Amino acid sequence: MTDTPKTSDITDLFIIGGGINGCGIARDAAGRGLSVTLAEMNDLASATSSASTKLFHGGLRYLEYFEFRLVREALIEREVLLRAMPHISWPMRFVLPFHKDMRFDNTTPTSKLLTTFMPWMKGRRPAWLIRLGLFMYDTLGKRGILPGTATVDLTTDEAGKPLNSKFKKAFEYSDCWVEDARLVVLNARDAEARGAEIMTRTEVVNATRHADHWEIHLKDLATGTETTRRAKMLVNAGGPWVADVLRQKLGQNSRENVRLVRGSHIVVPKLYDHGRCYFFQGQDGRIIFAIPYEEDFTLIGTTDADHPDPETKPICTEEEQDYLVKFASNYFDTPVTRDQIVWTYSGVRPLYDDGASSASAATREYVLTLDKTQAPLLNVFGGKITTYRKLAEAALDKINEVFPSLPSEWTAGVPLPGGDFPVDDVTRLREKLAREYPFLSAYATRRLIRAYGTEAWAMLGDAKAQSDLGESFGATITARELDWAIAREWVRTGEDFLWRRTKLGLRLDPDARTAVDTYIQSRVTD
């Protein structure tokens, strides 16, 4: 039997998982004075949290499943989050073209009701119902920044130009874009600044539960070094691995489970010139988005398909690529083709298993379970990126049962690193950066403000010329920025930087990507 550890040898909270839920909880807990350690077996945001559709949104289609509480919470959160991170999140307008043949997913409660009482509609989504849903979307949550719904004449509005001429009318509403992987990293950075220890590429081999503490056995995957940590409470935020962690790593029996749902996306060269997104409805009742992406591309997604297990790497299959291309081509005047695809990505959403009949119908609600039979264990099931901060607050409510008298909620409105400026101040910041670093290209100025916000100045430092930023790797990447990412953002490989901290991998050829990776590896091992 292990002796009870001394207080100085034990952390209050040990968190497994470096996705948005784990990092969000770490930030909130550290800000309330708890000692926090977080372990992630890969890079931060290396799974679900870097593979989203990259939206802060209420989930318009969830209204058809009567998930009003979830939608309301998410709608309110959009603007709370927007104010805290105006560099990596910004408002977007979504255009929803209307056509009389648009149909429901026939598994939704709304569809079943209308089929019963209005059978002549034959599963169609009528305009009045869409407008009612958008009215609810406007009113369920508070709006101070985002404009409300409007009707669009596609025969005269520029949003109609790239679409098939059969679409004459559309509805337009608001949601927000977010750089999902950067959101995770900035939460981790703020948690670290408040005292948390963040360990990446550190696997939890197993954990032994005692009456009043956990003994956690770790392996540094970079060096092979094995260590042991102790914690008063353990938080399992393993995302797709949450059930596996619970049963295999922690040795706990539980009936709780997750339903793994794969969401896949394709990226193609820019399909239209305006800055709005499209919300497309399919004949099968599903929906997809077409979103302006990284200035020169269009992002199309997502699918909903059950995924076998977390160890099977999610990929956008040929069937999913065909589905997305065909879906989008039903709307765009010029068909989208497979040979246009420049990149695909796929992620697994760990949804709480509520026994839904289809992947699309599975709840997006999060479920937190607290087990205090011995040393306490909190398991995090499900959730969505828009409500990560509220999930963290709910987790702290549970943690408060173990650590009573914690300070109250604090994260609402508190900016993440680089986000300490007003939402409408991005243009002013960009102009200021351009004046003070005139050697930067217009693209570099835009990109750096969007990535780093007010921290762009700290990253660029005293540079007076482009040469002061060190080696250039293309796509405005410099040694100065890579050094910042290594020192401040846990970057250890080219993939970390090119596909998670940024999406600049889209702009580099294979040789340039290799050069970035080689530089990073050399600096990490120095």
Report which of 119, 89, 94 is spatially closest to residue 104, judged by C-alpha positions: 119
Confidence of residue 96 (pLDDT cuts 50, 70, 90): very high
Q: What pLDDT, in 10s, does the model give residues 122-168? A: 555 677 778 888 898 899 887 889 999 999 999 999 999 999 999 99
Q: Please give the Cα distance from 500 to 194 (Å, whole number).
A: 23
Whether residues 431 and 511 fall in one domain: yes
- Looking at this protein, which amino acid is placed at residue 20? I
Residue 64 has a pLDDT of: 73
Check pLDDT > 80 for residue 115: no
Name the helix (H) or strand (E) containing 95: strand 89-98
Instruction: Write the pLDDT tens digit of every residue in 247-285.
Output: 999 999 877 788 899 999 999 999 999 999 999 988 777
Residues facing 292 on adjacent strands: 298
Looking at the fold, whether 150 and 296 belong to one and the same domain comes out as: yes
Domain count for the chain, please give it: 3
Q: Tell the residue number behind the tokens 């926090």, with chain if given.
A: 36
Does 116 fall in a domain? yes
What are 173's strand-pairing partners?
Answer: 94
pLDDT band at 5 (very low <50, low <70, confident <90, very high): very low
Residues 500 and 479 in one domain: yes
Task: Work out the average pLDDT over 234-242.
Answer: 96
> Tokens representing 64?
């058809």
Residue whose structure tokens are 């081509």: 329
Q: Which two tokens stand for residue 526?
A: 């120095």
Mean pLDDT of 488-500: 98
Domain presence at residue 358 = no
Which domain CATH number covers 451?
1.10.8.870
Same domain, 440 and 379: no
3-class state of residue 235 by DSSP = strand
- Quote the Cα angle for 274-280-285, to 5°: 175
**Is residue 463 situated within a structural domain?**
yes
Q: 438: domain range? A: 423-525
d(CA 419, CA 250) in angstroms, rounded, equals 37
Q: Is residue 85 part of a domain?
A: no
Tell me how far apart the alpha carbons of residues 324 and 87 are, in angstroms, rounded to a whole number: 30
Whether 146 and 205 map to the same domain: the answer is no
Tokens of 174: 């608001």
Mean pLDDT of the chain: 91
What is the reported pLDDT for 4?
47
Is the domain of 168 the same as that of 220?
no
Q: Are residues 233 and 317 in the same domain?
A: no
CATH code, 32: 3.50.50.60
Both tokens of residue 10? 């034990």
pLDDT at residue 51 is higher than 70: yes
Q: Which residues contact 125 (CB under 8 A, 6 or more apart)?
A: 102, 103, 104, 281
Which pLDDT belongs to residue 132? 85
- Where does 205-357 have alpha helices with state H? 242-244, 318-329
Q: Write out pLDDT tens, residues 63-86.
A: 777 788 888 999 999 999 999 999
pLDDT band at 525 (very low <50, low <70, confident <90, very high): confident
Cβ–Cβ < 8 Å for 512, 520:
no
Quote the percentage of the chain above a pLDDT of 70.
Answer: 91
Q: What is the pLDDT of residue 117?
A: 46
Report d(CA 25, CA 20) in Å as an integer: 8
Q: Which of 522, 162, 91, 104 is nearest to 335 (CA)?
A: 162
Q: What is the pLDDT of residue 120?
A: 44
Q: Quick one: 271 and 339 in the same domain?
A: yes
Residues 170 and 294 in one domain: yes
pLDDT category of residue 109 using cuts at 50, 70 and 90: low
Residue 183 CA to residue 24 CA, distance in Å, equals 9
Please, which residues have CB within 8 angstroms of residue 46's CB and are 6 or more apart in sequence?
18, 40, 500
pLDDT at 15 over 80: yes
Say what the pLDDT of residue 277 is.
98
Of all residues in the chain, the percent with pLDDT exceeding 90 is: 78
Question: CA 475: distance to chain centroid?
Answer: 24
Q: What is the CATH number of the domain that holds 156?
A: 3.30.9.10
Does 429 share its domain with 520? yes
Under DSSP, is residue 499 helix (H, G, I), strand (E, B) or coil? helix
DSSP state, 3? P
Instruction: Give tens-digit pLDDT for 157-185.
Output: 999 999 999 999 999 999 999 999 999 99
In sign, the C-alpha dihedral spanning 408, 409, 410, 416 is: positive
pLDDT of residue 383 exceeding 60: yes
Q: Are strands 297-301 and 258-269 parallel, antiparallel or unpaired?
A: antiparallel
| Maximum C-alpha span of the chain | 76
pLDDT band at 357 (very low <50, low <70, confident <90, very high): very low
Task: With a cut of 80, say whether residue 100 has pLDDT above it.
Answer: no
- Cβ atoms of 332 and 97 within 8 Å: the answer is no
Amino acid at residue number 57 = H
pLDDT of residue 48 exceeding 50, the answer is yes
Q: At which of 352, 383, 409 does a domain end?
A: 352
Determine how many CB atoms are found less than 10 A away from the CB of residue 9: 10
The reported pLDDT for the residue numbered 2 is 41
HSE-up of 89 (CA within 13 Å, CB side)?
A: 34
* Cβ(523)–Cβ(470) below 8 Å: no
Give the 3-state DSSP-derived string for 438-496, with helices as H, strands as E and coil as C.
Answer: CCCCHHHHHHHHHHHHHHHHHHHCCCCCHHHHCCEEECCEEHHHHHHHHHHCCCCCHHH
Report in angstroms the alpha-carbon separations of 336 from 64, 210, 290, 299. Answer: 29, 58, 11, 12
Does the residue 440 lie in any domain? yes
**Using CA atoms, how far apart are residues 520 and 385, in angstroms rounded to an integer?**
29
- On whether residue 55 sits in a domain, the answer given is no
Dihedral Cα 358, 359, 363, 366, nearest 10 deg: 150
Same domain flag for 225 and 279: no
Beta strands 305-306; 258-269: pairing state: antiparallel
Closest CA to 137 of 148, 126, 145: 148
241 in a domain, yes or no?
yes
Q: Hey, how many other C-beta atoms are within 10 angstroms of the C-beta on 445?
A: 21
pLDDT bin (cut points 50, 70, 90) of residue 469 is: very high
The pLDDT of 318-329, averaged and rounded, is 97
Report yes or no on 160 lying in a domain: yes
Judgement on whether residues 281 and 144 belong to the same structural domain of the protein = yes
